[in-house]
Amino acid sequence: MSFGSVALSVIVGRARAARRLNTLTCTGEGGYPQELVPYADNVITQVATGLFGVREETIQYAPVVELKYAQGAKPGLGGHLLGDKVTSAVAALRETVVGNALFSPFPFHSVYSVEDNKKHIDWVKEMNPRALVSVKVSTPTDVDMVAVGSYHAGAHIIHFDGSYGGTGAAPDIAKKNIAMPIEYAIPKVHRFLTEEGVRDQVCLIASGGIRNAMDVAKAIALGADGVVIGTAELVALECIRCGNCESGRGCARGIATTDAELGCMVDEAWAEQRIVNMYTAWRKQWCELLRQYGLRSIRELVGRSDLLVHLDYLEEEERARYKSSPVEHRVL
Amino acid sequence: MSYENRDMVDKILASRGRLPRREVPDSKLSEEGGCGVTGFIASVPVRGRHIFTPSVQMHNRGNGKGGGIAAVGLSPQDLGVTQDVLDSHYLLQIALLDPKSRPEVESFGISPFLDVHKAERIPTLDDFREIEGLEIRPPDVWRYFVRVKQDALDRFAGENGLESMAPRKVEDEYIYRNSFRINQEFYASLGEQRAFVLSHGRNILILKIVGYAEQVGQYYLLDDFRAHGWIAHQRYPTKGRVWHPGGAHPFIGLNEALVHNGDFANYHAVREYLAQHNIFPQFLTDTEVSVLLFDLWSRTFGYPVEYIIEAMAPTTEHDFDLLPPDKQRIYRRIQSGHINSSPDGPWFFIIARNNPEENYFQLMGITDTSMLRPQVFALQEGEVQIGLICSEKQAIDATLQSLAAEDSRFCPIADKYWNARGGSATDGGSFIFTVADAGRGDGSKQLVCTNKFGEVVRTPDNQRHFKSSLDLSTQASTEGVSSAVEDGLAAADLSGLKDYCRRSLPHWSFASLMRLCQELEVRASSSDDLKSKAIEVLTYLNDRLISTGGKKRSSVLLAVRDSLSRIFSASPGLDESAGGIYRHIDWSTRDTLRPPRDGEGLLVVNARGFPPEGEECDARLIVRAYELGWKRFICYDYTGQRFCGCGLGPNSQGVRIDAYGSSGDYLASGMDGLEIIVHGNAQDQVGQIMKQGKLVVYGDVGQTFMYGAKGGETFVLGNAAGRPLVNAVGRPRVVINGTCLDYLAESFMAGDPLNGGGFVIMNGIEFDKDGNVLEQAMPYPGSNLFSLASGGAIYMRDPYHRVVEAQLNGGVFADLGPADWELILPYLEENERLFGISIERDLLTVKGERKGYQDVYRKVQAITLAVLAGAKPRSEH
């Protein structure tokens, strides 16, 4: 979610919320607006295939630098920002031409292989030795190999983006149809890295269609260390999921827009508070869940897939013993 | 192929289907991406130790989980057989993963069918742990010189209907299948893995281990083992635990060994194609299927090399249109029959090969049509000749340095370095070095380099290499040099001395050149002023493509660079008490780094010995030095160290780095203000996301030059490889005096050049050996120029309008007006100052006639494409 795809106030609101919650948000691929600099300690700089707005300076700001190779919603398709949304402010930050669609190519032209990936990671470390390097990939069938390859290339964080994410701007034909759903990818990678003996040395982050507190808990129980939330935060800002994200003035709530007029519908402070509210509410649910399981920290939940059941795989009678409400999520 | 041949091919393939085989999974065992590949072949046999240095320097392209080497054109003495046996017998090498399996292997696959001339366990170090970092014991390897027993061969031919085939071909096929049987019985992926065949060709061998390539040589004692051709591979399998080297490269066909950098997207399709021909892989890697394809097309189908290359890397787009009609007809046939089995995705192959029938050895490099992997070719000719193919130029230089240190017939610098243009009509994306008998009757050999189409690549005739034993006696003739240097350095302006050097160099002997260098060195030690002048003069000789007369340019460069290095290294260290602006630092004194003191201003960094990346690398040292207040740097003796000039942060104006030697990837990537001068070729990923500053390259640049750049001014004396200026935005201003391979300025978005935006000037010229400017055959040979661009412009020197609409892919030719000329003129003037390329005499003069700028330059600019502007039509719901 870059400057260009969503309004500046949304980006800054998210960064402010990240600071309050002691977590991180990401620039996306649209450059690093000056307004984010005060929150730099909580902002991940994304280096994506178009390299829009990426400068040495913006890499040096960041505690985490994310190399985005693909997006789960549209793997192999690169990124696009359609002409409508390339307003003069967007074009200025990205140093491009107003009104012309912007393409992020697929793949990274300087990275065609795992040893190029190592070189790329080394490059980021050379410019900013204190940064953690995150590698964002989608979930192909050999996602486990990609993960272990990235680990050996020196990545600190491996971020998998499954196929169920993406805003309305991702092509329908790609969403849910190319990459693997994240719930298949997480255990595959978790298990493989555990077998390889390197699971403890790398941080696994999952994203792509994670909608609520229980989705987060499930992702973690399947083997992720943490998650990245995109659309749910926008829903907290009253996104109505109409799917008109790609057009310049299509967003009914002024979230996914850079239009001068629509872009002021969201206020930074309000956005910050809404997002903080959402995560605080989620936290309550997680605490409840952990209490039920007798766990002291959400870290203890990582990889506890034994605590999950797949209702679809159960006989009807057995299924009836489970209630789906998160509050009373226990065997009766 | 003729009809009889086809009949035979059918019989061979059909009978292969009867070989018993186990089921193996139809997916790859492990993903592996790029790797480090290197190879060379020489007209004389050279020792195995010379493949070590380049292998070590490419450690960062592998991860120590698979290394291998192959050697072709071996020495009978080193193997303890006669030349005749070496030529006629198959050299079967079997890796015994389980040392106890040898009797079984021999009774299963050797003794009943093969006459063994000689069998031995190849010598190794007593204990593999003597090699630092080697964790897994390499397999015992047994070597057998074999022929097939006559009765076994007759029975084989009879059973398979191959009686009418030439006996040697039947025997080849027998050996090939016998190895398949041995592997099926003792290896077969996922089965019990006890032994496998490493190689079985004639006069060629392969060894591989779980480790780095050079450790193969150390463990199997190949330091002094001689061969004409060597290839090495550093593997980068992503799977962490590898316990045996079955999946490491090289892989064997019959008489060819192949190493590979990249990975296929269509492994499954290639496998299917092979299965249709009854060929079944056993090691489940891309590399194995590649060599199986090569063997099928070469040995079974009997295709000439050109057709094999076409089948691997098809000629497409504009390049196809440029082919002569008869070639188009054949290529179309080849493509329709093989496109589904053409390896798709990034790949680069190096193949070492013996052709015993026609008695030559070959080394070939083939790049994929899209040129997605790095590749550099080099050639050196003279008393001995050598051709080299590597992932990185620094590996070539490392090989040559290693050879030259032992044998003065080699020079540490090649005569020629170049890239192949994949699937092209110009070179076909492949070069082949062939070593065959020189016809001098003394058994000596000579090397010829050809491209896919058989066109010979040459270095300038009538030039010779410098040999230290010669020349120096003729001191008398060099007296004039001394006084010229004296006078030249005394003048305030060095142009007189430079001019003298330029005029004299063609006539000078090596002795005179050495004298010049010595004189400059002596004077450089007397004062900082003379030192900087001496550096400037020598740098001029290093940078400019001026005539060297009867002397090889590589030898001239060697003398000049050695001299420069001596001047640089004579600078006092940071812990020495000495005056002057120059201070020296190297790997051993890196801890002495401190802020500059009074009068100090130039830090000389010897990059040799620094790791190519990581916290300890020289690029980080430069950053720390910059933070301490140093602004001027001379970095020399580079051996591929990466990231030079990265990490200084924004607004680094006033900093200047001069880089000498084999600088590495990602140079100047991220630079935002400073100035970097590369005195030689630059590598891949140079100037990525560059924002401001000035970059000058006295040579060529590699792949993806200035990817995502935002600005800065860049001047390149030579060519750029594939994909320069992709996704560049803002206001980058670039002069490339040569041309590019393809995909120049794809998705270029650099605004309106007449209004502060960016542009590329491409001159399409080159220099001959006399330093004259020539036009290249095509100002831009690629099929894609300015694809999907939405801003900026290309100014192309194309007086004959050789570039056509079909090459533009979203761009359009536009009128070049006075405003354009006014815009680019200052850059051409700076270009003239830097490289001596005259606007009047060289650029605006066409066939001896002075033309107007609008008759010489053409402008390509973006057109507004419907797909780019406005919203897309609503997608289906």
pLDDT tens digit sequence for B561-619: 999 999 999 999 999 988 899 999 999 999 999 999 999 999 999 999 999 999 999 99
Provide the pLDDT for residue B464: 85
Q: B716-774, pLDDT tens digit by residue? A: 999 999 999 999 999 999 999 999 999 999 999 999 999 999 999 999 999 999 999 99
Q: Are B449 and B503 in the same domain?
A: no
Provide the pLDDT for residue A329: 47
Q: Domain boundaries in chain A?
A: 8-306
Provide the pLDDT for residue B818: 97
**A331, pLDDT greater than 50:** no
Q: A287-297, pLDDT tens digit by residue? A: 999 999 999 99
- Residue B357 corresponds to which tokens in the numbers above? 């029938």
AA identity, residue B676: I
Inside any domain, residue B592: no
> Under an 8 A CB cutoff, do A246 and B729 touch?
no
Q: B771-793, pLDDT tens digit by residue? A: 999 999 999 999 999 998 999 99
Helix (H, G, I), strand (E, B) or coil at B240: coil
> Under an 8 A CB cutoff, do B646 and A148 touch?
no
Output the average pLDDT for chain A.
90
Of A201-210, B127-136, B648-657, B673-682, the poorest mean pLDDT is in B127-136
> Under an 8 A CB cutoff, do A95 and B643 touch?
no
Q: What is the mean pLDDT of residues A249-277?
A: 91
Q: Are B279 and B248 in the same domain?
A: yes
Q: Which of A59, A65, A102, A119 best tests the B interface by mutation, with the highest count of B CBs <10 A?
A: A119
Q: Are B779 and B734 in the same domain?
A: yes
Count of domains for chain B: 3
User: What number of CA atoms fall less than 13 Å from residue B173's CA on the CB side?
Assistant: 30
Inside any domain, residue B111: yes
State the burial class of residue B528 (Cβ atoms within 10 Å of its Cβ: 0-12, 13-18, 19+): middle
Task: Name the band, by pLDDT with cuts 50, 70 and 90, for residue B190.
Answer: low
**B289, pLDDT greater than 80:** yes
Q: Who has greater pLDDT, B322 or A328? A: B322
Task: Name the band, by pLDDT with cuts 50, 70 and 90, for residue A332.
Answer: very low
- Residue B121 corresponds to which tokens in the numbers above? 């366990």
Provide the pLDDT for residue B876: 32
Inside any domain, residue B678: no
Q: What is the mean pLDDT of residues B185-193?
A: 79
Provide the pLDDT for residue B30: 64
Task: Name the band, by pLDDT with cuts 50, 70 and 90, for residue B871.
Answer: very low
Q: What is the mean pLDDT of residues B474-498?
A: 85
Q: Are B453 and B484 in the same domain?
A: no
Q: Are B90 and B201 in the same domain?
A: yes
Q: Which residues contact B696 (CB under 8 A, 6 or more apart)?
A: B675, B676, B677, B678, B714, B715, B834
Give the residue from chain B lying closest to A171, CA to CA: B875
Q: B432-459, pLDDT tens digit by residue? A: 999 999 999 998 999 999 999 999 999 9
- At B312, give phi and psi (nearest 5°): -75, -50
**B541, pLDDT greater than 80:** yes
What count of CB pairs under 8 Å joins A to B?
Answer: 202
> Under an 8 A CB cutoff, do A172 and B788 touch?
no
Cβ contacts (< 8 Å) between A45 and chain B: which residues?
none
Gap between the Cα atoms of B282 and B247, Å rounded? 10
Inside any domain, residue B453: yes
Percent of chain A, pLDDT > 70?
96
Domain boundary among B411, B427, B457: B457
> Under an 8 A CB cutoff, do A149 and B33 touch?
yes
Domain that holds residue B486: 475-567
State the burial class of residue B491 (Cβ atoms within 10 Å of its Cβ: 0-12, 13-18, 19+): exposed
- Helix intervals (H) in B17-95: 52-57, 76-79, 83-88
Q: B340-367, pLDDT tens digit by residue? A: 999 998 899 999 999 999 999 999 999 9
Q: Answer yes or no: are the C-beta atoms of B497 and B537 closer than 8 Å.
A: yes
Q: Are B856 and B785 in the same domain?
A: yes
Cβ contacts (< 8 Å) between B236 and chain A: which residues?
113-115, 149
**B870, pLDDT greater than 70:** no
**Of the partner residues A103, A142, A247, the one whose CB lies closest to the CB of residue B871:** A247
> Under an 8 A CB cutoff, do B689 and A55 touch?
yes
Output the average pLDDT for chain B.
92
Q: How far is CA A141 from CA A181, A185, B268, B344, B826, in A?
A: 10, 8, 14, 18, 53
Gap between the Cα atoms of A279 and A285, Å rounded? 10
> Under an 8 A CB cutoff, do B869 and A247 touch?
no
Q: Are B520 and B453 in the same domain?
A: no
Q: A66-119, pLDDT tens digit by residue? A: 999 988 888 878 887 888 888 898 899 999 988 888 888 888 888 888 888 999
Q: Who has greater pLDDT, B704 or B18? A: B704
Cβ contacts (< 8 Å) between A57 and chain B: which residues?
649-650, 672
Task: Name the band, by pLDDT with cuts 50, 70 and 90, for residue B33.
Answer: low
**A326, pLDDT greater than 80:** no
Give the residue from chain A lying closest to B743, CA to CA: A109
Inside any domain, residue B641: no
**Of the partner residues B617, B704, B868, the one whose CB lies closest to the CB of residue A109:** B704
**B385, pLDDT greater than 80:** yes
Q: Answer yes or no: are the C-beta atoms of B352 and B39 closer than 8 Å.
A: yes
Give the residue from chain B lying closest to A197, CA to CA: B240
Inside any domain, residue B75: yes
Assembly ipTM: 0.92
Q: What is the mean pLDDT of residues B195-200?
A: 96
Inside any domain, residue B593: no
DSSP class per residue in B379-444: EE-SSS-EEEEESSHHHHHHHHHHHHHH-TTS-SS-SEEE---TT-SSSTTEEEEEEEE-SSSSS-
Q: What is the mean pLDDT of residues A246-268?
A: 87
Provide the pLDDT for residue A324: 61
**B32, pLDDT greater than 70:** no
Provide the pLDDT for residue A136: 94
What CATH number should be reported for the domain holding residue B135?
3.60.20.10
Of A159-163, A276-280, B54-58, B68-72, the poorest mean pLDDT is in B54-58
> Phi/psi class of residue B275: alpha, beta or left (left: φ > 0; alpha: ψ in -120 to 50)?
alpha
- At B32, give phi and psi (nearest 5°): -140, 140
Provide the pLDDT for residue B108: 95
Domain boundary among B517, B546, B567: B567
Cβ contacts (< 8 Å) between B669 and chain A: which residues?
123
Domain boundary among B524, B547, B567: B567
Q: Which residues contact B251 (CB under 8 A, 6 or more apart)?
A: B206, B257, B258, B283, B285, B287, B288, B290, B291
How long a stretch of residues is chain B?
A: 877
**B305, pLDDT greater than 90:** yes
Give the residue from chain A lying closest to B346, CA to CA: A112
**Of the partner residues B613, B746, B790, the one whose CB lies closest to the CB of residue A126:** B613
Provide the pLDDT for residue B97: 93
Q: What is the mean pLDDT of residues B395-399?
A: 94
Q: What is the mean pLDDT of residues B380-404?
A: 93
- At B527, give phi and psi (nearest 5°): -155, 160
Q: What is the mean pLDDT of residues B659-678?
A: 96
Q: Are B96 and B151 in the same domain?
A: yes
**B243, pLDDT greater than 80:** no
Percent of chain B, pLDDT > 70?
95
AA identity, residue A152: H
Q: Are B271 and B169 in the same domain?
A: yes
Task: Name the band, by pLDDT with cuts 50, 70 and 90, for residue B3.
Answer: low
Residues A290, A295, A301, A303, CA torsion sign: negative
Beta-bridge partners for B672: B692
**CA–CA min distance B761, chain A (Å):** 20
Inside any domain, residue B599: no
**B470, pLDDT greater than 60:** no
Provide the pLDDT for residue B873: 40
Task: Name the band, by pLDDT with cuts 50, 70 and 90, for residue A25.
Answer: very high
Give the residue from chain A lying closest to B876, CA to CA: A172
Tell me B551's DSSP state: B
What is the CATH T-level fold of the domain A8-306, as seen in this structure?
TIM Barrel (3.20.20)
**B864, pLDDT greater than 80:** no
Burial string for A98-112 (b: 16+ CB within 10 Å, else e) reads ebbbbbbbbbbbbbb
